[in-house]
Structure 1
């Protein structure tokens, strides 16, 4: 998790994200640092963005007007990309948060990462793999809190049982490979390092996809790993198969 002092630039594509989700998105972003820039892009003369006007005001997001001067071209993406590069060149930001489900922003995410700056992506399930994989971390909107009630809570998925988790070969292989890569001579690995490696190879990895709020809960549920307190704080993990060898 980013330090609270980290400065973030939050850029939102209003054409591809519902305004009903933005409260939840900003709540998630708050875990990574301080959103010192928050901008949302779209053609505010159109009726389909009417919901965004109230949301932008409520969450103090600067609306950026971009007229659709011609059909078949996404002017919103172009404006967002230009602003993102201007902000990147200032050297002020530790990370960018791009809220969109549009593959047209794939190259932008890659370019920001080439500069050594972290990219957090947020979008719907329909988001193409190219954009998801271009981010350091990608979060699906349906896993976040619903902001339309005062007592909003995260979308709760039914927990995937142990048998199904073990049958998920991609998940098990990823956890085992990450545990091995992060482990010391005693076979124990820092849980945080495991999570970082999982997201490095699969940016949209999120324990909430299996109904577990925490990675430690997901790892325990597989019953394939030992999970224990780490000396000095935190959690450590060891593959039971490796420990028995």
Structure 2
């Protein structure tokens, strides 16, 4: 596999993985679920605001009811004391208050109906979201199981993006091994022919090795000639086997008896 074809395989593999993440239905379902939860939160927030406004009007109505009763008592008390003018004033104020109470009562009724509608919508939306959540988890589980089966089948068949990556890595490893083997063979050849110098050797070390080899060859030739002149029947003389320092005489020529 050439370098350009390997790049194309890697690019297709990475692109396929990115598209799989984008098109993953599990993420889309989770996003839809989160959006529905946000809507439910907004509905509940609106319901709380309506309930608060309704409660505020209810408290205002209770205060107006208390004042309405007090004005009635004051009118009766003024009439009992012969103060018809005060009784009339109290009744007039109570009549004006009744108009205000009617307006507040209408607002209270509107808010109560709105609260009931929001409560009904909130309940139905919560039920729908709960059903969607159950269906979402079922679909996600089915998709995960199918995806696992696909990956297993592709692994058995040796296909798929993961196995493609394995093949690419295997090709790269083979290329590196071949390159290293070729390099090792080339360096062996260079060392054998003298084309590759030892950078750690001392100056003129090659001359010293050549002279040493010639000296060894000359020594061996002399020893062979001496052995031939002494005759095939004569055995070379050896020092006493139990002599402790006999090894010191090695290379110094034959010892005297």
Normalising by the smaller structure, the TM-score range is under 0.3
Larger proportion of strand: 1
| Structure 2 length-normalised TM | 0.18
Structure with larger Rg:
2
| Structure 1 length-normalised TM | 0.19
